[in-house]
Amino acid sequence: MKKRTLTCISCPLGCQVTAEINKGEIVSVTGNTCKRGDVYARKELTNPTRIVTSTVEVIGGESSRLPVKTRTDIPKSMIFDCILALKGLKVKAPLKVGDVVLENVCGTGVDIIATKTIKTF
Amino acid sequence: MKYDIVIIGGGPAGLAAGKAAKQAGADSILILERDHELGGILNQCIHNGFGLHTFKEELTGPEYAERFIDKVCELGIEYKLNTMVMHIEKNKRVVAMNSSDGMFSIEAKSIILAMGCRERPRGSLNIAGYRPAGIFSAGTAQRLVNIEGFMTGREVVILGSGDIGLIMARRMTLEGAKVKAVAELMPYSGGLKRNIVQCLDDYGIPLKLSHTVVDIRGKERVTGVTIAEVDENFKPIAGTEEDFDCDTLLLSVGLIPENELSKEIGIEMNPVTNGPLVNDRLETSCEGVFACGNVLHVHDLVDYVSEEAALAGKNAARYVKKGSGAKAEQNITIEGKNGVRYTVPSTVNPELMEDFVTVRFRVGGVYKDRYISVKLDGEEIIRRKRPVMAPSEMEDIKLHKAKLCEKPEAKSITISIEEG
């Protein structure tokens, strides 16, 4: 039986959650104060994911950088590939929140979307 | 120019205050913002994690700001950008300037202070060494990277584990820099736990608690720093020095509420928060002048800033309509004791208060399995268990009107941390 202790990040409380793992199977999760802690620990130990945020270059906009994010979380192991895919990407103003900047980033099935409205200069 | 309410600052606090004041029936509201856009610091906080409380979803900083900006525009609240407030007076005259109107003054019935805070600079740290290029406050680096699109360096050491420093550790790593270490003077982190996990642990960046920078090398540009462990008096321990080659040092060593204007009209300040002392309506010692957000006390979460600012906005609207109506002798003082460093507000008026008042506070150290005890004239009225409390995570507790009205003669409330 192996034990892994994680800090739950589902909310600012940051519970210390301990998972007991037996032969790759999670047998128990303790220390969480709500059910999100249980879900987080199981996911973090089997399929960790993150929302990735960065910026891309804007042409003809009021500002020169557009903040972007993955619409939903992607596998943690894909973070750097995702960032690399954004390098050199240029988008034209105007842009509004939610506009798709890059479809299906790195084959994750997740789009990169704008997180700010940028008017033309 | 005449307005019912003038709000100084168009960041998260100013926007939420404006929205709430308008919804509470204030007619003419003007927001004054010194940047070229509304939204304040949220514009450079491109990471996610905002809005879980307010919108029940996880937004980035610019998205969170835009929701409030849209609302402010929809409600027809006026604002002026690129406008710097130079001066405020006790009679609520506001003097401001910008390049299109020149210098102008506004007569307001009420003022809401929402100027936010700024970062502690290197100058206040007494670090030995040269003054080379490559030393940035974490927020400056954040602006350069996220808004201007410049990288500030390739090999980075961060002093201080405040949230902005942690966020920048991840940001710089993603952009191809090598973040070698985060040194924190205190034996505990200055940032939120989730930022330690997602910004440092995820990328294998070491957090060195009880460590500080004792030397900065490099004449034109930073070439390296020396980090040493400190003892319980924060003095570097000889023999623990470790050299790091780097071209950049980021400082994330605390935020200072920006209260030059507040002091100008003689508002009473809290020496612990460096923000104004306020009552439960978030009104300062100057009648009709309210304060909210990071100018009042530094927050960890923008959601709580919005909540607090909405209360200030609502009360400013009420003040404009009905005047203060408060009698000082009705006030019960609120004081933090035994580990509670400060409270906001610092007085409550049971007669005028809403059904409940949220008291926010910070503790002075890391406490495990303790109780928050609230006493009204010495008699305990609330006792809440907290598994963990830390200086980096703001605490709150609700005071209910019904409970306070049971003891109409009561003069003081103390909030303290107690064992078992």
Confidence at B274, pLDDT banded by 50, 70, 90: very high
Do residue A51 and residue B149 have CB atoms under 8 angstroms apart? no
Q: Kindly report the CATH number that applies to the domain delimited by B327-420.
A: 2.60.40
- Which superfamily does A53-114 belong to? CPE0013-like (3.10.530.10)
Site of tokens 């306020």: B278
Q: From chain A, pick out residues whose CB is under 8 angstroms from the CB of B71.
A: none
Minimum Cα–Cα distance from B191: chain A residue:
A12
Residue (of B43, B192, B58) closest to B116 by Cα position: B43
Q: How far apart are CA A65 and CA A56, in angstroms?
A: 6
Is the pLDDT reported for residue B74 higher than 90?
A: yes
CB proximity A79 to B under 8 Å: yes
pLDDT tens, position by position, B353-368: 989 999 999 999 989 8
The ipTM assigned to this model is 0.90
At a CB cut-off of 8 Å and minimum separation 6, what does B341 contact?
Answer: B272, B361, B362, B363, B364, B391
Of A33, A51, A117, the CB nearest to B48: A51
CA angle A57, A62, A66 (to 5 degrees): 30
CA angle B264, B265, B269 (to 5 degrees): 85
Give the distance from residue A54's alpha carbon to the nearest chain B alpha carbon, in angstroms. Answer: 7
pLDDT at B128: 82
Q: How far apart are CA B48 and CA A52, in angstroms?
A: 8
Give the distance from residue A7's alpha carbon to the nearest chain B alpha carbon, in angstroms. Answer: 7
Q: From chain B, pick out residues whose CB is under 8 angstroms from the CB of A65.
A: 146-149
Q: How far apart are CA B138 and CA B119, in angstroms?
A: 8
Q: Phi then psi for B303, rounded to 5 degrees?
A: -55, -40
Q: CA distances (Å), B68 to each of B39, B115, B119, B261, B299, in order?
A: 8, 17, 24, 25, 18
Q: How far apart are the first and last CA of chain A?
A: 61
B325 versus B10: the higher-pLDDT residue is: B10
Do residue A115 and residue B197 have CB atoms under 8 angstroms apart? no
Do residue A97 and residue B63 have CB atoms under 8 angstroms apart? yes
Do residue A9 and residue B198 have CB atoms under 8 angstroms apart? yes
Of the CATH numbers 2.40.160.50, 3.50.50.60, 3.40.50.720, 1.20.1740.10, which one belongs to the domain with range B121-253? 3.50.50.60
Q: How far apart are CA B287 and CA B332, in angstroms?
A: 18
CB proximity B48 to A under 8 Å: yes
Structure tokens at B78: 């006026």
- Indicate the residue type of B216: I
Q: How far apart are CA A81 and CA B357, in angstroms?
A: 48
Do residue B174 and residue A80 have CB atoms under 8 angstroms apart? yes
Alpha helices in B48-147 (DSSP H): 61-74, 138-143
Q: CA distances (Å), B191 to each of A12, B162, B207, B418, B419, in order?
A: 11, 5, 11, 24, 25
At a CB cut-off of 8 Å and minimum separation 6, what does A39 contact?
Answer: A10
Q: Which residues pair with B256 in a beta bridge?
A: B118
pLDDT (average), residues A31-37: 89
DSSP annotation of B190 reads: S
CB proximity A96 to B under 8 Å: no
- What sign results for the dihedral spanned by CA atoms B343, B345, B351, B353? negative
Could you count the other beta carbons within 10 Å of the beta carbon of residue B258? 18
CB proximity A117 to B under 8 Å: yes
Q: From chain A, pick out residues whose CB is under 8 angstroms from the CB of B391.
A: none
pLDDT at A12: 60
**166-225 of B, contacting A, C-beta below 8 A:** 174-175, 192-194, 196-198, 202
Q: What percent of chain B has pLDDT over 90?
A: 86
Is the pLDDT reported for residue B182 higher than 90?
A: yes
Do residue B47 and residue A117 have CB atoms under 8 angstroms apart? no
pLDDT tens, position by position, A53-85: 999 999 999 999 999 999 999 999 999 999 999
Give the distance from residue A62's alpha carbon to the nearest chain B alpha carbon, in angstroms. Answer: 10
Q: How far apart are CA A89 and CA A106, in angstroms?
A: 14
pLDDT at B193: 83
Indicate the domain borders of chain B. Answer: 1-119+254-325, 121-253, 327-420
Q: Tell me whether domains B1-119+254-325 and B327-420 share a fold.
A: no
Indicate the domain borders of chain A. Answer: 2-46, 53-114
Could you count the other beta carbons within 10 Å of the beta carbon of residue B384? 12
Of A7, A50, A52, the CB nearest to B193: A7
DSSP annotation of B239 reads: T
- 8 A C-beta contact, residue B405 and residue B332: no
Q: How far apart are the first and last CA of chain B?
A: 58
CB proximity A18 to B under 8 Å: no
Q: How far apart are CA B283 and CA B113, in angstroms?
A: 10
Q: How far apart are CA B238 and CA B120, in angstroms?
A: 27
Minimum Cα–Cα distance from B150: chain A residue:
A65
Topology of the domain comprising B1-119+254-325? FAD/NAD(P)-binding domain (3.50.50)
pLDDT at B262: 96
Give the distance from residue A74's alpha carbon to the nearest chain B alpha carbon, in angstroms. Answer: 14
Do residue B47 and residue A53 have CB atoms under 8 angstroms apart? yes
Residue (of B356, B389, B357, B358) closest to B372 by Cα position: B389
Do residue A54 and residue B300 have CB atoms under 8 angstroms apart? no
Do residue B393 and residue A14 have CB atoms under 8 angstroms apart? yes
Structure tokens at B308: 């607090």
Structure tokens at B385: 């268990």
pTM as predicted: 0.93
Structure tokens at B326: 């408060």
Chain pair A-B, CB pairs under 8 angstroms: 73
Residue (of B246, B238, B228) closest to B127 by Cα position: B228
Alpha helices in A9-91 (DSSP H): 35-46, 79-86
pLDDT at A11: 66
- 8 A C-beta contact, residue B399 and residue B413: yes
Q: What percent of chain B has pLDDT over 70?
A: 99
Is the pLDDT reported for residue B328 higher than 70?
A: no
Site of tokens 């969480």: A32
Is the pLDDT reported for residue B327 higher than 90?
A: no
- 8 A C-beta contact, residue B63 and residue B47: no
